[in-house]
Structure 1
Amino acid sequence: MPIGVCGWTIRDYIFTEKQTRETLKKIADMGYKGVELGQREFWTPAQQKEALDEYGLQAITIDGDLANPEEIIKKAEIVKCSSVCLKSIPGNMMGSPEGFMAYAEMVNKLAEPYKGTGIHFIYHNHAQELRNFPELDGKTGLDILIENTDPDVVWFQIDVHWLVAGGGDPVQWLKKLKGRTSIIHYKDYGIDFRCRETSLGNVPRQFLEVGQGNINWEPITKACYENGIEWFSVEQDQTARDPFTSLQISLNYMRDKLNIE
């Protein structure tokens, strides 16, 4: 299964067409096969596809106005990508089961025109969806979204770091989402080594290169293969070094230690 790059990692290097092309070349030269780039304002979907083709890259996800099905379907066809990014649940809705239910209902209404098109809305989790509700015997917000959205259209993009940050087990969530996930975000989780905090709370957490933190990647990767994951997408929200160096470290570990190609 191929390895790609999430655009958030390289967000400071995709402001102009020239800069974006240089960035695409860099990640392609490293050995990455795809990118979650989003739609850049300086080119059309056809121009984006031409740029990706030039460097031998594929679009892993696309974005756009989900309330405009014709536009999204046309873009997906041009870019050759059927995974469309779905916005996270708004903060004012995530404090209760009712909020998660209401969001699921909103998403289902948006999804109706896409049924049968082969397009999937991809929901990317953070830690907040792992909040659990005692009145539902500890059921999480993510459970509510999974159970109450249309499985034919609404899929999920697991982010390993954020699942761990929320106290979740990525392997169990992969099993739960079998058949409803095709892309996974790999980034590691660590505690800031400079921290001198001795209290139980407020210990600074770090986003780290894959293999450089505390996550046990072998069973997660095994579960990815069993689940049928199609793309490993490397995302690192913040890097202590040049992001391209960080991307190379993650790629090397995933290839050499996890045998992902």
Structure 2
Amino acid sequence: MRFAVPSLAMLLAACTSVPDAPAAEREYGVQLYHLREQMAADPLGTLRQVKQAGFDSVEYVGTYSVPQERLCEETQSLGLDVAAVHADWRQLRDDPAAAVASAKAACADTIMLAWIPPEERQTLAQWSEWIGYLNIAAREAKAQGLAFAYHPHDLEFVAVDGVRPIDLMLAEFDPLIAFELDTYWAQKGGQDPLEFLRENEGRITHLHLKDYAADGSMADVGSGTLAFPAILAEARRQGIRHYLVERDDAPDVWESLANSLDSLRAMPLQR
């Protein structure tokens, strides 16, 4: 039997080539709060534009003017993953089963809470009460085949009655509950997002990617002060699944998304 002898060029290529990053590490999505006006006016058309802009997933803020099943159908036809649905706080508290069923109908893999109104979080006792509600909701999500996560802003990193709500959550949440770390809001609350990632490995499943300008305002990814190559490297090392671009106050929403995506794609995939 004769064996083919590889050429010198083939041997050199095999020794020096670097495997391409797994697909999951190259995919970025959009938190649709960034496109809230567009989604309100034309949900399905906006989803198509998101795909055309080069993104691979979306995250909903609530539901829109079409049935959730139609949203699911459209994202599937476009090849968009649905990273999560941010649920209404009242429904999640009062009827978690219905909130989870709605998110599931939209083809989300995670249901999430991202906002508790000020009157509901004035004291540490109120925060503890909400942790109880969310623990119940997380168990309902599991029963329906979905994950559950919480999205902190800056306020969770500011002490209430001497305790930071984020620390109370880390201590008292059911292990079923994960976190969606927003890089800007963590920094705004005085918490280094990279440090938070490192200290809470295994508890974060989603990242919101927005930059922190020198004056404290929001900025497109890559145009502010945050160390995104290091943040992304740590997130990938941990196996974080969803990377979602967002900027709440973008003057031109599509240009902002393009700027952030270009910056992210140009960043080295550190290991």
Same fold (TM over 0.5): yes
TM-score, length-scaled by structure 2: 0.80
One-letter code aligned to 1:126 = H
Write the mapping of 1:1-261 to structure 2, written as runs, cut at 5 A.
Answer: 1=25, 2-16=27-41, 19-64=42-87, 65-66=91-92, 67-132=94-159, 135=162, 139-152=163-176, 154-192=177-215, 205-240=216-251, 242-259=252-269
1:162-197 alpha-carbon deviations (Å, 9 max, x no partner): 1111111112211333222211000001145xxxxx
Higher normalized contact order (CA 8 Å, seq sep 6+, divided by chain length): 1
CA contact 2:101–2:144 (8 Å) conserved in 1: no
1:199-234 alpha-carbon deviations (Å, 9 max, x no partner): xxxxxx321100011111122111101221101000
CA contact 2:245–2:260 (8 Å) conserved in 1: yes
Computing the radius of gyration over CA atoms, which structure comes out larger, 1 or 2? Answer: 2
CA shift, 1:133, in A, is 5.6
1:117-140 alpha-carbon deviations (Å, 9 max, x no partner): 4422221111111113684xxx52
Alpha-carbon separation, structure 1, partners of 2:73 and 2:49: 17
Alpha-carbon separation, structure 1, partners of 2:100 and 2:239: 24
CA shift, 1:250, in A, is 0.2
CA contact 1:84–1:119 (8 Å) conserved in 2: yes
Distance 1:258 1:23, change over 3 A: farther
1:84-127 alpha-carbon deviations (Å, 9 max, x no partner): 12142332354443332222123223334334444222211111
Distance 1:253 1:158, change over 3 A: same
1:136-161 alpha-carbon deviations (Å, 9 max, x no partner): xxx52101112111112x22110000
Alpha-carbon separation, structure 2, partners of 1:134 and 1:10: 36
Whose helix fraction is larger, Structure 1's or Structure 2's?
Answer: 2
Q: Which residue does 2:20 correspond to in 1?
A: none
1:10-58 alpha-carbon deviations (Å, 9 max, x no partner): 1111123xx2233222221121001112454422122111111232211
3-state DSSP of counterpart to 1:62:
strand
TM-score, length-scaled by structure 1: 0.82
3-state DSSP of counterpart to 2:243:
strand
CA contact 2:222–2:260 (8 Å) conserved in 1: yes
Alpha-carbon separation, structure 2, partners of 1:187 and 1:258: 18
CA contact 1:94–1:128 (8 Å) conserved in 2: no
CA contact 1:189–1:206 (8 Å) conserved in 2: yes
3-state DSSP of counterpart to 1:32:
coil
Deviates more, 1:248-257 or 1:82-91: 82-91
Deviates more, 1:165-174 or 1:175-184: 175-184
3-state DSSP of counterpart to 1:156:
strand
CA contact 2:229–2:269 (8 Å) conserved in 1: no
One-letter code aligned to 2:165 = G
The runs of 5 or more residues in structure 2 that have no matched partner are 1-24
Aligned length in residues: 241
Sequence identity of aligned pairs in percent? 24
